[in-house]
Amino acid sequence: MPHVVTGRRAAAAVVTAALLVPLAACGSGDKDGDKKAKGGAATDLTVLAAASLTDVFKTAGAAYEKEHPGTKVHFSFAGSQDLAAQVNQGAPADALVTADTKTMDQLRSDTGKPSVIAKNRLVIATGEGNPKKIGSLKDLTGDKLKVVLAAPAVPVGRYSKQVLDKQHLAVKPVSEEPSVRAVLSKVELGEADAGIVYKTDAATAPGKVDAIDIPDAQNAVADYPAATLKTSKHTKEAAAFVAWLGTPEAQKILRKAGFQQP
C-alpha cells in the first residue's frame, strides 16, 4: 500500500470523522448514555461495516452493549469499497467488517488478522408479488426488463457478475449502485423490476419485495471477515468485539437474520 504523508492522513481523518458523526447517531445509543455506573466514562467503539449488515448489527450492537456495559458500539455502514477508502484515508475507527475477503485482504497492512464471522448468498429481488414473473437468472436478460445491479467494485456487484458470467448471461442494468441497500431500494421504490441482492437484505423488506432463489449450483457464497484496525485507540476493546462476533450469542443473532454459518 502506498505511503501516505502523515499530514494528509490527519486531514483526511478530520473530514472522515465529520462524515461519520451522523452515522454514529444511528448506532446503538446516544452520547448521553455513555456514562456508566461502573467505571465512569464508557469506551466508544466505531465499527465500519458492510451495508448488508445494517439491520443485524444494530441488534448485535445492542446485545453486545448489554453484555459489556463499559462499551458503546457505533456503526458506520457503507459499501465495502467505500469502507476501504475510509480506512485508506485514516478514518478514526476501531474495527472493520466487509462483505468479501478481497477487500479485507487489500487492507492487510491496516488490520489485525481477520476472521470470517458469517456467509451469505444471492437472490433476485423483485417487486411484491413478482409482477414480471421472474423465475431465474436467465429472465433478467429480457430487453423490456429494468434490472439494477451493484457496481462491479461493490462485493455484491462482483458476485452478481460472477454468477451471471458463469451462466453466460448478458444483463444490461439500468443503473449500477454503490451498495446492496441501494439496489434493494431501487426495487422497493419500483424504479427497477429486479435486482440481485443478498438473501438477508431481501428479508429486511417483507411486503415490499419478493426474493427469487438462485440454485446453489449457480450461486456465489459471500464471506464476511472482521478485523481490528491498527489505528484504533481502543485495541483491547476492539479485539473483544471482533472476537465476540464469533461467539454462540452473536452467531445466533446472525443466523436469525438469515446469515449462514462461517
Identify whether residues 90 and 144 lie together within a single domain.
Answer: no
Identify whether residues 131 and 57 lie together within a single domain.
Answer: no
Identify whether residues 129 and 102 lie together within a single domain.
Answer: no
- The answer to whether residue 19 sits within a structural domain is yes
Identify whether residues 114 and 180 lie together within a single domain.
Answer: no
- The answer to whether residue 211 sits within a structural domain is yes
- The answer to whether residue 191 sits within a structural domain is yes
Range of the domain at 227: 6-119+222-256
- The answer to whether residue 17 sits within a structural domain is yes
Q: What pLDDT tens digit does each residue of the chain (262 aa) get?
A: 444 444 434 444 443 444 444 444 444 444 434 444 445 578 999 999 999 999 999 999 999 999 999 999 999 999 999 999 999 999 899 999 999 999 999 999 999 999 999 999 999 999 999 999 999 999 999 989 999 999 999 999 999 999 999 999 999 999 999 999 999 999 999 999 999 999 999 999 999 999 999 999 999 999 999 999 999 999 999 999 999 999 999 999 999 999 999 9
Identify whether residues 38 and 165 lie together within a single domain.
Answer: no
pTM listed for this prediction: 0.82
CATH code at 88?
3.40.190.10
Identify whether residues 82 and 198 lie together within a single domain.
Answer: no
- The answer to whether residue 125 sits within a structural domain is yes
Helix ranges (DSSP H) in 68-167 = 80-88, 101-105, 155-166
Q: Is 189 exposed, middle or buried (0-12, 13-18, 19+ CB in 10 A)?
A: exposed
- The answer to whether residue 1 sits within a structural domain is no
Identify whether residues 144 and 16 lie together within a single domain.
Answer: no
Identify whether residues 127 and 217 lie together within a single domain.
Answer: yes
Identify whether residues 111 and 237 lie together within a single domain.
Answer: yes
**How many domains would you assign to the chain?**
2
